Chains A and B, each alone.
Chain A
Amino acid sequence: MSSDERDGRRVTRDFVRIRKSALAANDRVAGELRDRFRDAGTLVLNLVSAPGSGKTTLLEQTVRRLRDELSLGVLEGDVATELDAERIRALGVPARQIVTGGACHLESRIVRRALEEAEFPPLDILFIENVGNLVCPTSYDLGEDFKVALVSVPEGDDKPFKYPGIFRRALIAVVTKVDLLPHFSFDLDRVRERVATLNPAARFVAVSSTTGEGVDAWCDLLREALAAKREGRPWP
């Protein structure tokens, strides 16, 4: 503590130790959501990628394969429009659009409110499709079991090292649009190595929502993760 005079008033300086996350408010709500999802036995995935990487198209293929076997729900984050939620609802799966009105990422309070409004039935898997952005969603815990990072072939194989924050955190890395591999100089093994460098525990899957290649393997990973959660085992 130190004191001096300023404008005839005595000023006392205090050093105040804080040591608190700058995301504490978001994390507190995310923790509440995580407890709720655990009690409900719902596996929750937070899907993060650049715009146009094929998150929604992969979700369409995913719900087609899993909808008869599991209870699914989708929260669709976008800056504008209801288009993505409509695509999922057209497949008979409940979906709620979150229109962020310009915000570049979802936060836990927005997810909590969307869930209250959505009134989903009891779910086995909840997919949260984040706003297309590989940076801002990185820091925000939404109460998910884990993040999934997606990169499409046309974006280039250097994506993991350009956006290490999200690839460090994601437990599944998905390369999408692999049917386009013959048309791009995209080295699948290099991406696999780069993902493993940033997170050796992460699982890796290459898919094409157009040809269906790899989509069954992706769905198997979801089944594995759900089973592990129900049995209280860590995954992967």
Chain B
Amino acid sequence: MHEMGIALEIHRVCREAVAGRGPGRIEKVRVAVGELSAIEPDLLRFAWEAVTRETTDEGAALEIEWHRTEQVCPSCGPVPDRAPGTWLRLCPSCGGPLELRGGTELEVLDLVFAAEDDPPGPGGDEPGEESA
């Protein structure tokens, strides 16, 4: 169970990315996790809850973008519909050897940071405009 260490590191990377933005909390983080990354998504979510508990970012959502490994035949292309956890030795069409592509991802993609601005002064700031 090394997901705890990974979750701590994800939180550290996120906090580093918002350093200098002033007070606020991380609301959502997206991470890419690959089939061959040796990470169990449920354990990572559990660990994320644990490492963010009693921090500013408590309750931040961890969204996992799951990346499957593709088995690819150099002649016929990707093998369709491989059942999870099973691997084909040879291409079902031409019998040639297959290559593996992807699935080793373990990357912090992006986050949503909710910055708390200073309270509006008595002179009245305009309320913030919604923008993309």
Interface residues, chain A, CB within 8 Å of chain B? 1-6, 8-26, 104-105, 107, 135-136, 138-140, 161, 164-166, 168-169, 193-194, 196-200
Tally of A-B Cβ pairs under 8 angstroms: 136
**B10 lies within 8 A of A15 (CB):** no
Give A139 to B107 CA distance when docked, in angstroms.
12
Is the beta-carbon distance between A19 and B128 smaller than 8 angstroms? Answer: no
Residue in B21, B38, B87 whose beta carbon sits within 8 Å of that of A165 in the complex: B38
Nearest Cβ on chain B to A5's Cβ, whole angstroms? 7
* SS class, residues of chain A in contact with chain B: mixed
CB atoms of B111 and A165 under 8 A apart = no
| Beta-carbon contacts under 8 Å, B17-31 to A | 17-18, 21, 24, 27, 31
What string of 1s and 0s marks CB contacts (under 8 Å) between B90-104 and chain A?
Answer: 000000011110001
Determine which residue in B2, B35, B125 has the highest number of CB atoms from chain A within 10 A of its CB, and name it: B2
8 A-B Cβ contacts within 8 A?
A: A2-B128, A3-B117, A3-B127, A16-B112, A20-B13, A138-B38, A139-B39, A197-B89
Q: How far is the CA of A23 from the CA of B38 in the complex (A)?
A: 13
Partner among B85, B107, B114 whose Cβ is within 8 Å of the Cβ of A12: B114
Partner of B108, one of A12, A18, A107, A166: A18
Question: How far, in Å, is B56 (CB) from chain A's closest CB?
Answer: 13
In the complex, the answer to whether A18 meets B111 with C-beta atoms within 8 Å is yes
Q: Which residues of A contact B27 (CB under 8 A)?
A: 13
Beyond the given A13-B115, A197-B98, please list 18 additional residue pairs across the A-B interface where CB-CB is below 8 A: A1-B131, A3-B127, A3-B129, A6-B116, A11-B115, A13-B27, A14-B114, A21-B106, A21-B108, A136-B1, A139-B6, A139-B37, A139-B39, A166-B38, A169-B104, A197-B87, A197-B88, A197-B89
- Give Cα A18–Cα B6 distance, bound, in whole angstroms: 16
- A107 neighbours in B (Cβ, 8 Å): 5
- If the complex has contacts A19-B108, A22-B31, A135-B38, are A14 and B113 also in contact, measured as CB distance less than 8 A? yes
